[in-house]
Amino acid sequence: MATMFEPSLSTSAMRPPLSSADAPSMADTLPSINFGFDELRDRMAKFTVKFDTFIEQGRKRVLEERNQFRMNVAELKEDQRMKKKDIEILTLKSNTHQQTLTKEEAEKNEMQTAIASLSSQRDAHQATKESLKQQIEETQKQIDARLAAQRAHAQYLDTQSRFNIPEFEFWRNTLCLEMEGNGMDDSLKFTFTHIDDRDWTKEAYFLLDTSKREYDVSYCKPKLERELIERVLDKFNESRDLRDCLKGMRELFVEAAKSGQ
C-alpha cells in the first residue's frame, strides 16, 4: 500500500538541523511516494479491452439489427408485392365473374325470349293443327260423299251397260247419231245428221263434259241458246238418262235448222 503524503510531516522532515555538518541532503529526506501508475495502467488496459469489446459487440449488434431490419423491410415489400398481385388477381377474377354473370343474365333473358317465342309458335302450330285437322275431316267427308256418288254412278253404269250397245244402235239408227271421243278425258262428242230437210248430210254436234257431277255441254255447232241447253241439261242431270239429253239436243238442232241457223 502506498504511503500517504502528509505536508506537515514532509516540511518538518525536509527542514535540516542548522548545527549539524553531516546531516543528510534534502533529497534524502524526501519521502518515498507510490502513485499506483502500474495499477492504473493495468486497469486502463483492461477497461480499453472491455470498451473495445463492448463497441465491437455493439457494432455487430447494430449491423445485425440493421441487416435484420433490411430483411424485414424486404420481406414486407415482398409481402406487399404479393398481396398487391393477389389483389390484382382477385380483381381480375371479380371482373371476370361479373362479366360471366352479366353474360349468363343476357343468355337467360335470351333463352326466356326464345322459350316465349317457341311457346307462341307451339300455340300457333297447335291452332293450325286443329284447323287442318278439321279441314281434313271435312275434306274426308267430301271425298267419302264423292266416292259414294261415284260408286252409285258406277253401279248405275254397270246396270245400264248391258243395254248400252243395243240401245245405242237403236238411237244411232233412229236419231242418226254418231258418238266418239273428243281427244280428252271425260268428254264425248255426239254428231247428228238428217236434221235439215234441205240437206240430209248436214251435221250438228255437241261436246258433253262428264268431268263433274253435273254434266255440261262445253261446245255445240251450230250455236244454240244457252238457256235452251240449260233446260235440257237440268232434265238430264236430274234423271241421269242419256236418252233425255240426246233427244233434247237433237230437237234443238232441228229447230235451229228450221230457223235457218
The pLDDT tens digits for 76-130 are 999 899 999 899 999 999 899 999 999 999 999 989 999 999 988 899 988 988 8
Q: Determine the Cα–Cα distance for residues 224 and 256; give it in Å rounded to an integer.
A: 7
Checking if the pLDDT of 8 tops 50, the result is no
- CA 4, CA 182: separation in Å to the nearest integer? 178
pLDDT at 189 over 70: yes
Residue 207 cell numbers, joined: 261436246
Contact 217, 209 (CB under 8 A): yes
Kindly list the strands in the beta sheet with 216-221, ordered across the sheet, starting from the edge strand earlier in the chain: 177-181, 187-192, 204-209, 216-221
How far apart are alpha carbons 94 and 77 in whole angstroms?
25
Contact status, residue 191 vs residue 203, Cβ threshold 8 Å: yes
What percent of the chain is helix, strand and coil (3-state, nearest 5)? 70, 10, 20
Residue range 66-70: average pLDDT? 91
Is the pLDDT score of 38 beyond 90? Answer: no
Closest by CA to 194, choosing from 124, 137, 253, 131, is 253
Query: Alpha-carbon distance 107 to 101, whole Å?
Result: 10
Taking only the tens place, the pLDDT of each residue in 204-218 is 898 888 888 888 888
Over the stretch 152-162, which tens digit does the pLDDT of each residue have?
A: 766 765 665 55
Distance separating the N- and C-terminal Cα atoms of the chain:
190
Question: pLDDT band at 2, cuts 50/70/90?
Answer: very low
Q: Name the pTM for this structure.
A: 0.38
Q: What is the 3-state secondary structure (H, E, C) of 202-233?
A: CCEEEEEECCCCCCEEEEEECCCCHHHHHHHH
Q: What is the pLDDT of residue 211?
A: 83
Beta-bridge partner residues of 203: none
Distance CA 79, CA 61 (A): 26
Residue 179: closest CA among 257, 187, 153, 197:
187
